[in-house]
Amino acid sequence: MPELPSDPTARRALLIEAFADGPLCGNGAAVVELQEAASPEWMQALAGSLKQSETAFLWLNPRQQWCIRWFTPTCEVPLCGHATLAATLALQHWNLVPVGDELRLASRSGGLAVRVDPQVTGAASLVLPSEPLIHEQAPSYLRQVLDSDVLGYWRSNLGYRVVLVDSALILRELRGVSERLEGADRQGLVVMQAGSSAELFGQTCDYQLRFFAPGLGIEEDPVTGSAHALVAPWWADALGKSTLHGWQPSARCGGMRCELQEGYRVRLSGLGHVLWSGSVATGPPGHVPGDWSVCSQD
């Protein structure tokens, strides 16, 4: 068979299963390396074709800072934990960052500190901002959707809603949630409960959660770093711990270690597995010189 002609506009790409102990679990994220900033329309179109819950785009700006943006198949999101973990491991896979050194990625949500673990193969960490949970009255329909008593309900400035359910609910067996969510819950609902039999980094997990966001084009996100960063301070206060292990019993389960930092920030540590490595050939990507300015390291 003759070889296909090469495309000079092709860009390196990986698919990494993040917050996973091994292949075929965790949360898949595509990572695409750009030569410079690209138009949002082109990035959105490529994310729609790759069909991962998030696709991360990386490029060096004129200041030689790595910039990152994230797109679901239908929209851009301001922050994404698992795709940032995947991007960190991708930079290491491409030998673009030294193992063990902390790097600060510039994003539309500010600077994000990331690091490849020098002691655990395939592990990396990132620091995400958290937000206080603001208590509210739970919508009455949730009791029927979740088939559980609702022990607490909160909103956050991140846009996610959080609901605490009784431990009697078998969280991994919860079905048909996304299509029945209403109102603001559709933009991101974290369903969490105390305890888990899962182990991570040699520790039994302290809590577990699932995350549904049909309003973002994601029926269910398998393992969600931003959700764990959001609820980790609440669990730390409830359990009297500064380091916790959280599990996400989705169909592609996974989890992470959460360490509280100063300034209402959380360091998330997890494992990633490279599922495929190659390139994407889409033709000219519609570069927008100067578009790097939408990213910040502050």
**Ordered alpha helix ranges (H), the chain:** 40-50, 81-93, 142-146, 225-239
Q: Is residue 264 part of a domain?
A: no
Which DSSP symbol is given to 291? Answer: G
Q: Is residue 160 part of a domain?
A: yes
How many domains, in total, are found in the chain? 2
> Has 17 been annotated as catalytic?
no
More confident site: 178 or 23: 178
| Exposure class string for 114-142: b at 16+ Cβ within 10 A, else e | bbbbeeeebbbbbbbbbbebeeeebbeeb
Whether residue 252 sits in one domain with residue 153: yes
The confidence band for 94, taking pLDDT boundaries of 50, 70 and 90, is very high
The dihedral formed by the CA atoms of 75, 80, 86 and 89, expressed in degrees to the nearest 10: 130
Whether residue 240 sits in one domain with residue 224: yes
Q: Is residue 2 part of a domain?
A: no
Whether residue 123 sits in one domain with residue 32: yes
Which DSSP symbol is given to 38? Answer: B
Secondary structure (3-state) at 193: strand
pLDDT tens profile 53-76? 899 999 999 999 999 999 999 999
Whether residue 18 sits in one domain with residue 120: yes
To which residue do tokens 């943006």 refer? 69
Whether residue 117 sits in one domain with residue 176: no
Q: Is residue 6 part of a domain?
A: no
Which structural domain range is residue 17 located in? 11-130+273-294
Using the predicted structure, report yes or no on whether residue 1 has a pLDDT greater than 50.
Answer: no
Query: Which CATH number is 165's domain given?
Result: 3.10.310.10
State how far the Cα of 162 lies from the Cα of 164, in Å rounded to an integer.
Answer: 7
Catalytic pick from 54, 131, 136, 173? 54
Packing angle of the helix pair 81-93, 225-239 (nearest 10 deg): 120
Whether residue 279 sits in one domain with residue 186: no
The confidence band for 290, taking pLDDT boundaries of 50, 70 and 90, is low
Q: Is residue 145 part of a domain?
A: yes
pLDDT tens profile 149-158? 999 999 999 8
